[in-house]
Amino acid sequence: MISDQGKNSGRVALITGSTSGIGKAIAQQLANDGFTVVFHSRSSVVEGQKLAGSIPNASYIQADLSDQVQTKRLISKVISLYGRLDVLVNNAGINAVIPHNLLKDATPEIWRNLYEVNVIAPWTLIAEAEQVLRSSSTRECPSSIINISSHAGVRPKGASIPYAASKSALNHVTQLLALTLSPEIRVNAIAPGLVDTPMTENWVEAHKLWKEKSPMKRGAKPGEIAHIASMLVSSSYLTGEIILSDGGLNLT
Ligand code: NAD
């Protein structure tokens, strides 16, 4: 039997927002699994180049995903560098912390910004990558898309209603595209609860909630979400799944 590392040799994975937090852990995990990885971020160019320099054949591409021109260019750059794409992880995302009862604080501008980065950018990246994902796909190793959504897109929770709604939209897009792009491309989502990353550093209440109420008694480490991404990528069958990864908080 060929090992995952051997099987993935020469296969290419693009992970958006991968110079920190969950995206960085997923990129490093997929590199360990044998993939050639492409790091990406909006602005941390030095860190991105450093990460890419530490892994054979890896590269880094900068692109602001709130800009459609740069979003499309990200995929064309990957194709011109490697000529193929096997895995696309839509991890880059933004949040806005707004108490749910302060409706006027959730302005149309905040709604638009969140949708632009959390929903429209993943959509554009998938649309631009569809053909190359199809042509890289084989029966044994179908191409794979993973969208990083949130438990807030599954349950009526989250840092703000616009954020939760944007992640809920991403979950629905995941299932619709799983139907539309099969069997060549599998599409799944991971919906994390609290994860220890720069985004949640100062979320004292959330850390307290997970420690006191969740069955696992803590938030996740980025590597634990990366492990789930690796499992999803290594499957040749799963599609249309939204893996709620909240340490069991939803059960309480
Ligand atoms: P993070 O802040 O470390 O990472 C976010 C990444 O998104 C960064 O690399 C940033 O460069 C990128 N990004 C943001 N706006 C961008 C733009 N306009 N163009 C290009 N890139 C942009 O945070 P994280 O916690 O690792 O978040 C990763 C994903 O996980 C996000 O989609 C987030 O919504 C989701 N998530 C996080 C948690 C958590 O508790 N940390 C929980 C649920 C879901």
Q: Which superfamily, per CATH, for 4-251?
A: NAD(P)-binding Rossmann-like Domain (3.40.50.720)
pLDDT class of 139 with cuts at 50, 70, 90: very high
Q: What is the pLDDT of residue 201?
A: 87
Taking only the tens place, the pLDDT of each residue in 195-219 is 999 888 889 999 999 999 999 999 9
Q: Taking 80 as the threshold, does the pLDDT of residue 3 lie above it?
A: no
Q: Taking 90 as the threshold, does the pLDDT of residue 250 lie above it?
A: yes
Minimum CA distance residue for ligand 1 atom 13:
92
From the CA of 123, how far away is ligand 1's center (Å)?
16
From the CA of 19, how far away is ligand 1's center (Å)?
10
User: pLDDT averaged over the chain?
Assistant: 96
The domains of the chain are located at 4-251
Minimum CA distance residue for ligand 1 atom 9:
17
On the question of a cis peptide bond just before residue 183, with omega within 30 degrees of 0, the verdict is: yes
Instruction: Report the DSSP beta bridge partners of residue 113.
Output: none
Q: What is the pLDDT of residue 208?
A: 96
- Mean pLDDT across 119-123: 98
Taking only the tens place, the pLDDT of each residue in 20-48 is 999 999 999 999 999 999 999 999 999 99
Taking only the tens place, the pLDDT of each residue in 180-192 is 999 999 999 999 9
Give yes or no for residue 21 CB within 6 A of ligand 1. yes
Q: Taking 80 as the threshold, does the pLDDT of residue 5 lie above it?
A: no
The span from the CA of 143 to the CA of 137, in Å, is 5
pLDDT class of 160 with cuts at 50, 70, 90: very high
Q: What is the pLDDT of residue 1?
A: 54
The verdict on pTM exceeding 0.85 is yes
Q: What is the pLDDT of residue 6?
A: 83
Count of residues making up the chain: 252
Nearest by Cα to 133 from 20, 233, 63? 233
Residues sharing a CB contact under 8 Å with residue 103, sequence separation 6 or more, in sequence order: none
- DSSP states of 46-103: HHHHHHHHTSTT-EEEE--TTSHHHHHHHHHHHHHHHS---EEEE---------TT-G
Best of 88, 120, 197, 210 for a ligand 1 pocket test (most atoms within 8 Å of beta carbon): 197
Q: What is the pLDDT of residue 198?
A: 84
Task: Supply the residues annotated as catalytic.
Answer: 163
Q: Taking 60 as the threshold, does the pLDDT of residue 154 lie above it?
A: yes
The span from the CA of 17 to the CA of 91, in Å, is 6
